[in-house]
Structure 1
Amino acid sequence: MRSRLGWILLVLVNAALAAAAYVVTLPAPDHAIAIDTVLYSADDGSARQVSLPHRSGWGADGAATARYQAVFDLAAMPEARLFVFAGVVNHHPALILNGTPLTDGRRPIWSGPLTNAPVLHELPRTALVTGRNELTVATENAEMAISGLLSPLYIGEEADLLPAYKMRIFSQERLAPMAFGAHLLLSLGILVCYARRPRDPLFAWLAAMIVVSSAASVGLFAGLTPAFAGLRPYCLALLPSVGLLFIGIALAFVGASPPRWFRPLIVALAVTLMAGVAMDILPDPHTLAAFYLAAVVVSITVATIVIAWHAVRGANTEAYFLLSPFFLTAWFMVRDAGVSAGLFDGTVLLSPYMRPILLAAVLALLMHRLVATLDRLDDANETLNQRLAAREAELTALHHEERVKAAHAVRAQERERLTRDLHDGIGGHLVSIIAMAERPGSNTAPIEQAARQALDDLRLVIYSLDLGDRELPLALANFRERLIPQLRRAGVTLDWSMIGLPDVSGVTPGNALAILRILQEAVTNALRHGPATVIAIRGEVTDGKATIIVDNDGAAYAENPTGFGLINMRQRAAQLGGEIRIAPLASGTRVTVLLPIALPDVQTG
């Protein structure tokens, strides 16, 4: 029901606007002598009485020139100045009062076949006579595209005629440049949009229409001066193409694609007509003007039908919005064509005023599309922000879970490392202390030695916690300082040299302690299974790896598959990316520790 009411309202509004062009007229001057019957003379010298307004030219009788002789009587010479007023005169009139020329009829610069203008001219007292006065209005119809026009004449004082003159000046000479300026600004906006989005078919059609119609307007509105006279036929040859471009715009607005031959047809039509102008093979200007007007009217009518069809059948809101400006443009074009040909009464051509209105409607629709697009972008942005927030929350939860798992893994590795350290170091010393203390008659010296070893091992673990990157030499030096008293008490000589050891990076407390544990286990095995008297420890580079070699002169190496110490040594070296090589010597055993120059970050010791 609401849709039907909308259509009824639309039809009523458009019908009212279309009828207004025939009903609404500008008021005539009061207190003035009105002349609406004149003697009309054509080219052949024939004369007849005609009523004003009157048209002459191809739409009326084909006259190239027209002379209108008006007669008015003055009972006495008025004290105030008298003026003659014509609401609309086309084709550059010349005024003659009682045989005295008042104007020369020269064409102004900004005038053309579609321009109408009011005339207000003083009647000099020297040319007026008491009694019968003859006023002749002569117009030149040669080279004109439409028929000439003369509205009723009024003779009166300036105060009586000036209001009507000003009103027509505003509507015909002031409003037209304003409409042209609005059309220019709107066209510039569309051209800017096309420059930013050249692949958009709608902007392409609109830009083409603006360019071609602007070129055609040179022929319609530019003055018939020598500078433009040669260009006018070529410019007017573009008018049929302008009409076809309206069809392309209508199809683009409703989302339909024109046939493949449609674009070449527009170009071919313009080129063919301009070539015909150049070769002078086209019909006479009057017939050609009729063809141009008919082509434009038919094309924009077809465009209006396309818009109406999609508005009704396709429930297209944009087509519904454009239906009124397209319909009114087509209607006023038909009306202006009839007025120009003398078929309809009228003094003002309205279609030029519809162009900026049509472009304004187009821009309003484009702004509607822009706002709708921005709304969709805002909605998409809001949805994206919500999804992003959800993903961030999910990633935060996963990150927290991973951190918890990593913390548990670090604690588990630390427990494993401390378990091995306590087992290999302090645990073994405590077991020895307990065993020696339980022996009957045991002396305290071994117990003291075991307790001292346990204390040294505890210090080793604590000291490794303060080491930083590239401080492996410092850790080895501290290990040497603790090892010398231990070996001296056991009567073992230490030969120590780390000059050849390369700089090792990635040193952390965990892997530094692992290296010291490997060396400690190698020294312990030399003392326990040797027994060795000399232990040599040196650093060097082997195949690009940092190498620490521990030699002793004790018993030759014999691998014990159940020995927990050697297994720990190999595991620690593997965690550091290195390896342990144990080989017998001529007298003794060699333990070689191979480590990468850059140690991995491991948490095990």
Structure 2
Amino acid sequence: MPPPSLAAADDAVLAAATPWQPVALPYARERRTPSATPGDGTPPQVWWLRMQVPADALAPTPQGPRLYIPRWHTLGNAAVYVDGRLAWQSRGSQVLVSFNQPVWLDLGGDVRPGQPLTVHVRMAGAQDAGGALSSLWAGPAESLRASWRLRSLLQTDLLAYVRGANLVLGVLALAVWLARRRQGETGYLLFFLMSLSHVFATSFFLVDAEGFGLDDGWFAWLTLAGSLGASACAFLLLCRIQRQRYPRVARALLLYITIAALALLPVWSPPHGAMLPLLRLVQIPAALPLLGAAVVGAWRLRTWPQVLLAAMMLLLFPLWLHDLAMQSFRLSVEHIYATPYLYVGVIAMFLVSAFLRYQEAAHEAAQAHAVLAQRLAAQERELGLAHERLRAAEREQTLMHERQRLMREMHDGVGSSLMSALRLVQHGQAPVDVAQVLKECIDDLKISIDSLEPVDADLLALLAGLRFRLEQRLGEAGIALHWRTSDVPLLPWLDAQSALHVLRILQEVLTNIIKHSGATAITVGTGVQDSGVCVRVHDNGRPFAPPDAPPPGRRGLGNVRARAQALGGRCAWEPGAHGTAFVLWLPQHAPGRGTPATG
């Protein structure tokens, strides 16, 4: 530990006989592999630097005078004395010291108006460990603050910011990998591991006065393992981005890293503090495969991110040698360690390459989507043509069925009546009212035609057409027709075929009344009953109860029942004291269809 004052020092720093020699700052003592490390009981090697701060540099200002030291480095500790009093000292580890943190010392309490200040810097380190001290600046805070801020930014702050940003990106990549690990997206995991390794590898440059609370040997091993792990992850990730595989190289790299990490464990390896610069040589074999993959990828792909990445990897080695020379105090201590920032550039190029790879994949996906859209459009056109052909076939089939139905109705209705009348007339078997037969045939034909007229599911419109057709015939037969209809719901199922069934049922009932009942009045009414619609036809003729089985040659009543069943409805005759009521009940929705009898 440094003495609390120069007077308390045991090395005669204040003695008049102590030899001093002028040196120019920055000043360095060459580093050799030390024979001892701080804390092992061996006396440290101490050397002093003395300088005078002129009084004009200490003139009063609003913020006061400051002493600014950009960087110092030794394998031990450092202390600053102002007029013999201890004003600042390094703390924490004596191996992983805060060499990258600029010293910013307030001199306001030591200034005497018009008097200069004497500043001593004590550098204590292991034997042959060497050391270095940058230039010292003394003066108003207003004039030195910008240089101190810039030096702090370049040496520690910017590196900490970038390291934090890389770690955040790595955590995001880890989250993406966790969400897509079943799709084999290991590139995201490799990027996370590379970012995490970079955090450990650059921690050596961010040690502050308080340290990290970790043993020096284990901390040095973590930084070395982080650097080796970053190289391995970067190599594997670059292979995935370039879509190249080097299985033998990858296995050899992982084997080397494993052996090196195990061999350098602080449990059995020499003290790391004594050979920190030499440990950096272990990183060279781990970086060579990454350099080779970057150069081969740049030559093969010829894209600017790959070329720039290869250039950075080629630049890594001279910059790495530059930093190694700085650690060995062979270069000015005022230089900036460049390797951490080159790592940042490498990670940035990985991000750019991954982004371009993502763009390429997105472009391929867009092209595939366009091809699929074209195929889908072609299939839609084919389906449209097939649908049109199907609709045309359905129309043809509907027309064919309608023709067959009309032909069947005309054959069974008009044709049958005409043929029966013709046979009777030809054979003179019975007196025939030919005019009456022809009227019935015409009524049958008109009813068949009326069934083709659209009624829009309106039963009352259908009955109105029947009334128009039969009212004159009923009047000629001396029968009065009374209409007592009321509003009924629409019947969605009432198409042409169903309409013909309804008309045929009512035609048969009215014809039977005319021929057999002797009625003088008929009343037709409608109503709603049992979730359906009913049509009621009442005559004042002789009461009529239909037999259970129709007599031979008389199929009219059977046809009425069959047509009602085909409509999903039912019919009944209700004889009474003043005539007979025929009731036809029809469902309101989707009747079950049967096959009606004809005749």
* TM-score of the two chains, using structure 1 as the length reference: 0.61
Change (3 A) 1:117 1:191: farther
SS in 2 for 1:281: coil
Corresponding position: 1:232 with 2:219: yes
1:513-555 Cα shifts (integer Å, max 9, x gaps): xxxxxxxxxxxx975xxxx5899859999xxx999xxxxxxxx
Match of 1:54 among 28, 35, 53: 28
* 2:188 aligned residue: 203
Q: Cα RMSD over matched residues?
A: 5.4
Corresponding position: 1:243 with 2:223: no
Corresponding position: 1:102 with 2:81: no
How many angstroms does 1:150 deviate by? Answer: 0.7
Deviates more, 1:475-484 or 1:229-238: 475-484
How many angstroms does 1:232 deviate by? Answer: 1.6
Contact 2:163 2:199 in 1 (8 A): no
* 2:299 aligned residue: 312
Corresponding position: 1:117 with 2:117: no
2:107 corresponds to which letter in structure 1? E
How many angstroms does 1:349 deviate by? Answer: 1.0
Corresponding position: 1:295 with 2:269: no
* 1:8 aligned residue: none
Contact 1:89 1:119 in 2 (8 A): no
Corresponding position: 1:68 with 2:53: no
* 2:40 aligned residue: none
1:248-279 Cα shifts (integer Å, max 9, x gaps): 2332332223427846964884587468636x
SS in 2 for 1:208: helix
1:308-357 Cα shifts (integer Å, max 9, x gaps): 12212454655224223333444422321221123434422122223333
Change (3 A) 1:58 1:122: farther
Contact 1:237 1:270 in 2 (8 A): no
Alignment of 1:132-531 (within 5 A): 135-141=119-125, 148-154=131-137, 161-198=144-181, 199-218=184-203, 221-223=206-208, 225=210, 228-230=213-215, 231-239=218-226, 240-259=228-247, 262=250, 266=254, 269=257, 273=261, 277=265, 280-286=267-273, 289-313=276-300, 315=302, 318-347=305-334, 348-431=336-419, 445-449=433-437, 451-452=439-440, 455-456=443-444, 459=447, 462=450, 468=493, 482-483=507-508
Alignment of 1:26-45 (within 5 A): none
How many residues matched? 471
- Distance in 2 between the 1:469 and 1:75 partners? 116
Change (3 A) 1:259 1:292: farther
Contact 2:45 2:125 in 1 (8 A): yes
SS in 2 for 1:106: coil
Change (3 A) 1:195 1:139: farther
Change (3 A) 1:444 1:472: closer
Change (3 A) 1:148 1:486: same
1:475-509 Cα shifts (integer Å, max 9, x gaps): 989767655676799999xxxxxxxxxxxxxxxxx
2:160 corresponds to which letter in structure 1? P
- Distance in 2 between the 1:190 and 1:366 partners? 12
Deviates more, 1:256-265 or 1:465-474: 465-474
In structure 2, the gaps of 5 or more residues are 1-12, 14-18, 38-43, 454-490, 518-549, 569-590
2:155 corresponds to which letter in structure 1? Q
Change (3 A) 1:312 1:287: farther
Contact 1:430 1:454 in 2 (8 A): no
* 1:496 aligned residue: none
Deviates more, 1:451-460 or 1:305-314: 451-460
Contact 1:186 1:360 in 2 (8 A): no
Change (3 A) 1:477 1:364: closer
- Distance in 1 between the 2:57 and 2:405 partners? 132
- Distance in 2 between the 1:312 and 1:287 partners? 42
Deviates more, 1:393-402 or 1:209-218: 209-218
How many angstroms does 1:54 deviate by? Answer: 0.9
* 2:69 aligned residue: 86
* Identical aligned residues as a percent: 14
Change (3 A) 1:270 1:123: farther
1:371-408 Cα shifts (integer Å, max 9, x gaps): 33333333333333333333323322322222122112
Contact 2:257 2:286 in 1 (8 A): no
Deviates more, 1:414-423 or 1:323-332: 323-332
SS in 1 for 2:265: helix
How many angstroms does 1:434 deviate by? Answer: 6.0
How many angstroms does 1:72 deviate by? Answer: 4.2
Contact 1:58 1:147 in 2 (8 A): yes
1:69-94 Cα shifts (integer Å, max 9, x gaps): 23448699976687544332235531
* TM-score of the two chains, using structure 2 as the length reference: 0.61
SS in 2 for 1:229: coil
Contact 1:112 1:220 in 2 (8 A): no
- Distance in 1 between the 2:289 and 2:377 partners? 53
- Distance in 2 between the 1:534 and 1:164 partners? 120
1:429-461 Cα shifts (integer Å, max 9, x gaps): 335556777899996525524643663575477
In structure 1, the gaps of 5 or more residues are 1-38, 40-44, 493-524, 548-596
- Distance in 2 between the 1:384 and 1:303 partners? 40
Change (3 A) 1:387 1:320: same
1:320 corresponds to which letter in structure 2? V
- Distance in 2 between the 1:480 and 1:298 partners? 103
How many angstroms does 1:285 deviate by? Answer: 1.4
Change (3 A) 1:179 1:147: farther
SS in 2 for 1:333: helix
Change (3 A) 1:194 1:351: farther
SS in 2 for 1:228: coil
- Distance in 1 between the 2:409 and 2:26 partners? 123
2:356 corresponds to which letter in structure 1? H
1:335 corresponds to which letter in structure 2? H
- Distance in 2 between the 1:471 and 1:416 partners? 13
1:183 corresponds to which letter in structure 2? N
2:81 corresponds to which letter in structure 1? I
Contact 2:171 2:192 in 1 (8 A): no
1:187 corresponds to which letter in structure 2? G
Contact 1:310 1:319 in 2 (8 A): yes
Contact 1:243 1:295 in 2 (8 A): no
Contact 1:72 1:134 in 2 (8 A): yes
